[in-house]
Amino acid sequence: MTERSPFFDEMYGFGEQARQPYSDYNSWFSQEDVGRLRKKSEQAEAFFRLTGITFNVYGVEEATERLIPFDLVPRILTSREWATLEKGIEQRVRAINSFLHDIYHRQEILRAGRIPVEMVAQNDAFLPQMIGVAPPGNIYTHITGTDLVRTGEDEFYVLEDNARTPSGVSYMLENRETMLHMFPELFSRINVRAVSHYPRSLRRSLSSCRPTICDGPPTLAVLTPGIHNSAYFEHAFLADQMGVELVEGHDLRVVDGRVAMRTTRGYKPIDVIYRRVDDEFLDPMTFNPDSVLGVPGIMDVYRAGGITIANAPGTGIADDKAIYSYMPDIVEFYTGEQPILKNVPTWRCSEPDAFKYVKENLEELVVKEVHGSGGYGMLVGPAASKKEIAEFRTKLEAKPGNYIAQPTLSLSTVPILTKAGLAPRHVDLRPFALASPGGVEIIPGGLTRVALKKGSLVVNSSQGGGTKDTWVLED
C-alpha cells in the first residue's frame, strides 16, 4: 500500500507512476518483501546503535543521547538536477567568501549601499577582531552546508547557508555505508556516485589552506568542545576518518608563538585546526573570558598568520538569517552574475512595514530567529495553536529585529517505509562544499533530512526528524 502526496513527490511526481530517477529503484522495491525490508530497517537501527551514531538534545532532562532515525528509502537525484545544484552552490560559496573578505576589509558592499551598514555593524555575528585579518588563501568558509528545499520538478530554493560549523556530514557517510551493507544488489544495478571520498577531500582541502609559516606537510587537528556537545560523534568520526588528532581546549596551548597540542613527547605545533567550537568560546583572552572550551591566545597566533582556523572566526555574519535575505544582491555584487539558486522570499522584521505584515499574518508564515538553528526558536504558523501564536507574537513584539519571516512553502516529499507501506514525508537537503585556493568541491549528494511526522515541515533531528541516503545518479 502506498499513500500519495498532495505535494510534488520526488518518487511519484503528482501521479501513480514512478518518476524516471526512481524507475530502477521502484522496479526493485516492487519485487521486495515488505517484511524483509522492515527487518532491514531494524538491522540499520542496531548498526547505528552499535557504531554509536548519536546526537545530543539540549534542554531535555531524560536520556539526552539519541539515535537519529534512518529511513531506508533513498532520495534520488539525476545527474542533470545535480549539475544545476552544484553550479548554484559553487556560485554561492564563492560569493560568501568574497563577502566575508570584503566586510572585514574595504567594505565595498556597504559603501555601495547594497546592504545597510547597521545590518552588519549591529550584528552580534560580526567580529571586529577580524577586521584586517586575511586568513590563509583568503578562505573563510572551508566547509559550507547549504540547506535546499524543493517545491516542484525544477524548483529548488536555498533555505539557509551554514557557514559557521555545519554539521551532519557524518550521517551522510554512515547512511551510505549502511545502505551499501544492507542492499549491495541495489548498487550493482543502479549507478550511484560515491561519497566515501569526503574525509580524504576534507583533509586535502584543509591542508591546502595551511599557513605560510608551514613549510612541510601540515599537522591537522579537530577541536571539539567535548563529549557533551550535540555533534561529538561527528567530531570523533571525522578526526578518525581523516587520520588526525581529536583535541579539546585543555590539550592545547600557545608555545613559542604557535598553537601546540600535548603529546607523549611534549607539545607539537599544529598548522590547521578544524574547530567545532563556536566563536564566543574559541579564545577566553579575546572573546568570552569564562570559556574553558577554547585556547587562550589562539587569536593572537591566528592574526599573526601562525595557524589556520576552519571555518574562520566571524563567518557567522554570512549565515545570519537577516543577511540571508540580501544573498541575491551579494551574489550579483561579487560574481557579476544572477543567482542560479533562488532565495525564499523573506520579510525582515526589523523593518516597520515588514514587521506589521508579519504580525498580522503569523498564522500563515514561518518565523525564525536570525541566529537560530536546529529548529529551535521558530514558529510554523499553519501548524501552531492559537496559544502558541499569541505567545510568539509577544516575543516578536519585544524584539522585532531578532526575527525574519518566510511564506510556508509546499515542500516536496519522498516516501518513507511505515507499517502500512510507503508514505510521503517532507524533506530538505544539505549538500556539503569544500573551499580551498584551488576551487570549490561539492560532494555529490549530501544529507537528506526527513520529517517523520505526517504533515510536519520540521526536519531537524532535534525536533524528531530523521535522515535518508541521498543518491546522485551517474549519466
**Nearest CA among 410, 472, 424 for reference residue 452:** 424
pTM to 2 decimal places: 0.92
362, 146, 87, 11 alpha-carbon torsion, rounded to 10°? -70
Fold match between domain 212-306 and domain 345-408: no
Q: Give the relative orientation of helices 327-335 and 79-103 as an angle to the nearest 10 degrees.
A: 80
Tens digit of each residue's pLDDT (9 = 90 or more) over 79-119: 999 999 999 999 999 999 999 999 999 999 999 999 999 99
What's 212-306's CATH class? alpha beta
Give 345-408's CATH code, choosing from 3.40.109.10, 3.90.79.10, 3.40.1260.10, 3.30.1490.270: 3.30.1490.270
pLDDT of the chain, 475 residues: tens digit per residue = 477 788 999 999 998 899 999 999 999 999 999 899 999 999 988 888 877 666 555 444 444 566 788 999 999 999 999 999 999 999 999 999 999 999 999 999 999 999 999 999 989 899 999 999 999 999 999 999 999 999 999 999 999 999 999 999 999 999 999 999 999 999 999 999 999 999 999 999 999 999 999 989 999 999 999 998 888 999 999 999 999 999 999 999 999 999 999 999 999 999 999 999 999 999 999 999 999 999 999 999 999 999 999 999 999 999 888 899 999 999 999 999 999 999 999 999 999 999 999 999 999 999 998 876 655 678 988 888 999 999 999 999 999 988 999 998 999 999 999 988 899 999 999 999 999 999 999 999 999 999 998 888 878 766 678 999 999 999 8
Q: What is the pLDDT of residue 4?
A: 78
Gyration radius from the chain CA atoms: 22
Element spanning 87, H or E: helix 79-103
Domain extent listing, the chain: 212-306, 345-408
Q: In sequence order, what are the beta bridge partners of 253?
A: 260
